[in-house]
Amino acid sequence: MKKHRFLIAIILVFIGGIVSANAQSNTSNNKEITSLIKKKRAYNKLNGTGYRIQLYNGLERTAKSLRGRFRVEFPGVYTKLSYTEPEWKIQVGNYKTRLHADRALNKIREKFSGAIVVPL
């Protein structure tokens, strides 16, 4: 009697798994979803997504001197000095992925220990 119940339970679990697998494999190619994905990719190309490395956040005089020092140490790397009340920020580089930003951060931290990666 217990063997029959156990066998029935196993068969029901097996059938439930097959039904569940079939339900997940039935996907439709919806044109609206494909259109939204294309729009999102176009938006990302135009507006850009990615990361920068922030060297400093604080006083104007210190920010400008660190920016000059960075330009000497790493010529050719994009630098951005911005003011967001009440502090000045120095952000450098334009990196598409966090991995690229982290690799650059390792080199920059040798000279600028307080640097961090920030999203755009």
The pLDDT tens digits for 24-64 are 555 566 888 888 888 888 887 777 678 999 999 999 999 99
Is residue 22, in this structure, part of any structural domain at all? no
**Mean pLDDT estimate for the chain:** 85
53 lies in a domain?
Answer: yes
In a domain, 79, yes or no: yes
Average pLDDT over residues 99-119: 92
Q: Which structural domain, as residue segments, surrounds residue 70?
A: 48-119
The gap between the terminal CA atoms of the chain, to the nearest Å, is: 66
Report pLDDT for 27: 56
Q: Would residue 8 count as lying in a domain?
A: no
pLDDT at 43: 80
**CATH number of the CATH domain containing 55:** 3.30.70.1070
pLDDT at 58 (0 to 100): 92
For residue 16, tell me if it sits in a domain: no
Number of domains in the chain: 1
pLDDT at site 31: 84
18 in a structural domain:
no
Tokens found for residue 43 = 């938006």
3-state secondary structure the chain: CHHHHHHHHHHHHHHHHHHHHHHHHCCCCCHHHHHHHHHHHHHHHHHCCCEEEEEEEECHHHHHHHHHHHHHHCCCCCEEEEEECCEEEEEEEEECCHHHHHHHHHHHCCCCCCCEEEEC
Task: Examine residue 13 and state whether it is found in any structural domain, yes or no.
Answer: no
pLDDT, mean of residues 86-106 = 92
pLDDT of residue 14: 78
> How far apart are alpha carbons 23 and 74 in whole angstroms?
55
Residue 56, domain member (yes or no): yes
